[in-house]
Amino acid sequence: MAERNTKERIKQIALSLFREKGFENVTINEICKASGVNKHTFYYYFKSKDDLLDDYHEISYDIDTSSFVEILNAENFIEQLWFSYKPFFERINDSGTEIARQLFIKNLNRDVGTFRLDDKRDSMLALQQDIIKKAQAAGEMRNMSDPKMLLSLMHQLLMSTSFAWVMSGGGFSFEEASRGEMEVLFDVKAELRKAQHINLDGIWRNWDRDGRRRKMREMHKHCHPRRDPSEKGE
């Protein structure tokens, strides 16, 4: 129990520092000092700073019992579909833009499956396809394209919008923008639309240009990361 508590304390303090200062600006020495442990203890639990983010590499789409009940009790099929993405939005919002940025960098260096649709998500995809079919039959969504194709496009929208959200430093509501995109993609009938008016085109146009260039340089640099000076042997 004590070991698990120590490991979790180190991780949570490190994540807090990453969000506050940026991943590349936080050293292992700083994490150790804030956590009240020495470097030997840190390396007992983690191989590197990057190892602290392992729990974030896979964004779960699984839903617990209470969330499943919430889906079933939703007022219409559009809300059922929206609630099915709740675990995804909760994880992204919990991670914040800095940790999400590191996930993009990690997957550019080596695909760790964060943004991949694979067998682990088959049960959720089957549920979502069934909801889409029912929504189409009920006239709640008027895009009658193949449900599997619609889900693939929705997934791509979520990934691209999350990238824009990271690059803008959280300059807009990721969840609200995604809701608007979903309503447009599925052609949800007007009375079921809930997204506030968001200039989706502006998400990509209105970034601060200097800030965008800086973030792109940082992402390029971290695709070929240098070791932390406080790592072993340095």
d(CA 165, CA 172): 7
Tell me the CB-side half-sphere exposure of residue 215, using CA atoms within 13 A: 21
| Residue 31 near residue 14 (C-beta atoms within 8 A) | yes
Residue 34 corresponds to which tokens in the numbers above? 């804030």
What's the pLDDT at 50? Answer: 85
Q: How high is the pLDDT of residue 96?
A: 87
pLDDT in tens, the chain (234 residues): 566 789 999 998 998 898 888 888 999 999 999 999 999 999 999 998 888 887 676 665 566 667 778 888 999 999 999 999 888 888 888 888 888 888 888 888 777 666 666 666 788 889 999 999 999 999 999 999 999 999 999 999 998 898 889 888 888 889 999 999 999 999 999 999 998 776 666 676 655 554 545 555 555 555 555 555 555 544
Q: What pLDDT is stored for residue 223 in this prediction?
A: 52
* CA 172, 173, 177, 180 torsion-angle sign: negative
pLDDT of residue 22: 87
CA angle 110, 174, 145 (to 5 degrees): 80
